[in-house]
Amino acid sequence: MSNRQKPTSRPSFRSQAVHNTLALPCVAESAWQLDDESCLPWLQSHWLANQPMKIVGAGSNLILPPILTGPTILMALKGITVIEETTHDILVNVAAGESWHDWVQQSLKAGWFGLENLALIPGTVGASPVQNIGAYGVEVGQLIEHVNVWDFSCGQTKALTTDDCQFAYRDSLFKKPEGQALLILSVSFRLRKKAAWQPTLDYPDLKPLSQAALLDGFVVSPQAVFDQVVAVRRLKLPDPASIPNAGSFFKNPLVSAEHCDRLRQRYPGLVAYPQTDGRAKLAAGWMIEQCGWKGRQLGDVGVHERQALVLVNLGNAQARDLLALAEVIGADVLERFGVALEIEPICWA
């Protein structure tokens, strides 16, 4: 990627309402739409070097305050470029402002596979490495080769490797204090061609496919995995267009094997996934449901009736209403299971 930008280019400025899938009322004091990388030196020299940045993609994993102070970047960079191709795989660079689900669909159509388990996740490509989006047994970090960023601490572009990005469950460098000067410009994905593709079907919701393959000799295609993931998500998760939400509101907590064993003795139905490091990841949705919160409301906010991990805005909620509900849920789970829940979306409220 080149650093030879035109220094005179500047992004467009507006003070405006910030769209977010939780439908929280939010106005950014100064929002700058970034649709051209040539604007970066201007942003660098005018304000961003010394100020904390707020970057908004599709607003699908954000808890926003009524007024967003300081400068906000509205990510609108577009473009999909093939970098290199072999008979087995392909390296494709995708601009941060592209829609995640549209990109997943386009990759499948082009015959580039690996992203099918991550279908229908709301948001932008640039947001995908931030929380290392993951679903149905795949995390995006497994498919990324580089994340290309503008580093405001030195005013240059950099190509970060997956090691640099420190990917972990719902976590990355971009969520940590040392990643706050980095603006994600594009993501390079290494995807497989058909001959080298293997389905990932371990997740319980994908068992119908693995069983059909085993018992009936059904040949599982990337499109079949995509279709199954889309069907499961539509069944379990509310569409933000009709019921405002930000997907999972809490992370699934990691506990020691001993803690998990103690809980299982008391709660034989406990849902827990063993991790390679010996710990166990507990299904927070299951614990929240056990505490009686599934489908309950508190003023203008509530817990979704089909997936207790998802909090929803039922009317005119503000961030503080959601955070108050999250707090009482967290206190109940702590009291009953001895586990502290952590909020999953990025909270600027």
Separation CA 42–CA 28 (nearest Å): 20
Q: Which of 60, 128, 248, 279 is catalytic?
A: 248
Separation CA 75–CA 124 (nearest Å): 9
Give min distance, CB of 294 to ligand EPU, in A.
5
Name the residue nearer to ligand EPU (CB basis): 1 or 271.
Answer: 271
- Expressed in angstroms, the distance from the first to the final Cα of the chain is 35
Give min distance, CB of 19 to ligand EPU, in A.
18
By CB atoms closer than 10 A (0-12, 13-18, 19+), residue 296 is middle
Known catalytic residue at 170: yes
Q: Which of 139, 170, 186, 188 is catalytic?
A: 170
Residue written as tokens 């960023």? 149
Name the residue nearer to ligand EPU (CB basis): 71 or 345.
Answer: 345
Name the residue nearer to ligand EPU (CB basis): 159 or 347.
Answer: 347
Give min distance, CB of 9 to ligand EPU, in A.
35
Give min distance, CB of 21 to ligand EPU, in A.
10
Known catalytic residue at 344: yes
Name the residue nearer to ligand EPU (CB basis): 47 or 203.
Answer: 203
Q: Which residues bind ligand EPU (CB under 6 A)?
A: 135-136, 203, 205, 236-237, 247-248, 251-252, 271, 283, 285-286, 289, 294, 307-309, 344
Q: Which of 98, 116, 139, 344 is catalytic?
A: 344
What is the SS3 assignment for 172? coil
Residue nearest to ligand EPU (CB): 247
Separation CA 116–CA 225 (nearest Å): 6
Name the residue nearer to ligand EPU (CB basis): 165 or 310.
Answer: 310
Known catalytic residue at 172: no
Give min distance, CB of 69 to ligand EPU, in A.
27
Q: Which residues of 168-202 are buried (b: 16+ CB within 10 A; e: fewer)?
A: eebebbbbeeebebbbbbbbbbbbbbeeebebebe
What positions carry a catalytic annotation? 170, 248, 344
